[in-house]
């Protein structure tokens, strides 16, 4: 996918997030058509989970997935969003344990150089006990990011060799068939995330 196409996906997702946010505040009946219905995003991947086990998209077929791309060395945005996602899922679990059990939160690193399986195991456990952490080769991570319209750019290292990664910021709820449903408001509150899960998880 060319850079222009990825930018178009990012613009589309951004516009849809505004639409979802507005709809969530309107108090109107939930729409019957998913906000991301028809958006071409997602696809196959072959990565490694936090236990060192090979994972593909097929392992999650038949279940809803919350897809979030980030990295463990992120100083602020990623841990804040993941905390909101994890807390929102726990609220949904308290409301409807059966439906919530069908939702798998997945964190995909955009920094495979530092984010090994061991690093991901400790990191994801801090946000939700069922959160899956995925890493892999730079090529495999790049392919997964491309499929989901995620951009990631490694910034220039500092004197100590540390670096930041500028990346897209959104959490996507995928349906059991692997199609995008809605952008979850991870930048808001756990209650907002739980409300979207309640609305769209069947």
Which residue positions form the known binding site?
74, 78, 167
Q: Which 8-state DSSP code applies to residue 30?
A: P
Annotated binding site for Cu cation: 74, 78, 167
Token code pair at residue 64: 């809803």
Give the phi and the psi of residue 157 in degrees, each rounded to 5: -60, 150
Could you tell me the CA-to-CA distances from 31 to 23, 26, 39, 107 in Å, in that order?
9, 12, 17, 28
Range 150-158 contact pairs with CB under 8 angstroms and sequence separation of 24 or more: 150/69, 150/110, 151/6, 151/7, 151/10, 152/69, 152/110, 152/111, 154/111
């Amino acid at each position: 996918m060319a850079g222009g196409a990825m930018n178009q996906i990012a613009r589309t997702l951004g516009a849809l997030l505004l639409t979802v946010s507005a709809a969530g505040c309107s108090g109107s009946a939930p729409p019957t058509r998913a906000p991301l219905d028809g958006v071409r995003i997602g696809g196959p991947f072959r990565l490694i989970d936090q236990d060192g086990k090979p994972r593909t998209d097929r392992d999650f077929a038949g279940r809803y997935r919350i897809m979030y791309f980030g990295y463990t060395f992120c100083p602020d945005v990623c841990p804040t969003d993941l905390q909101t996602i994890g807390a929102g899922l726990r609220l949904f679990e308290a409301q409807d344990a059966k439906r919530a059990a069908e939702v798998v939160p997945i964190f995909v690193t955009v920094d495979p150089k530092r984010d090994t399986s061991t690093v991901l195991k400790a990191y994801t456990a801090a946000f939700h006990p069922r959160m899956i952490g995925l890493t892999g080769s730079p090529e495999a991570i790049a392919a997964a990011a491309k499929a989901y319209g995620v951009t990631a750019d490694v910034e220039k290292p500092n004197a100590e060799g540390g670096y930041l990664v500028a990346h897209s910021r959104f959490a996507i709820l995928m349906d059991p068939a692997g199609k995008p449903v809605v952008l979850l408001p991870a930048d808001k509150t756990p209650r907002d995330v739980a409300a979207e899960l309640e609305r769209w998880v069947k």
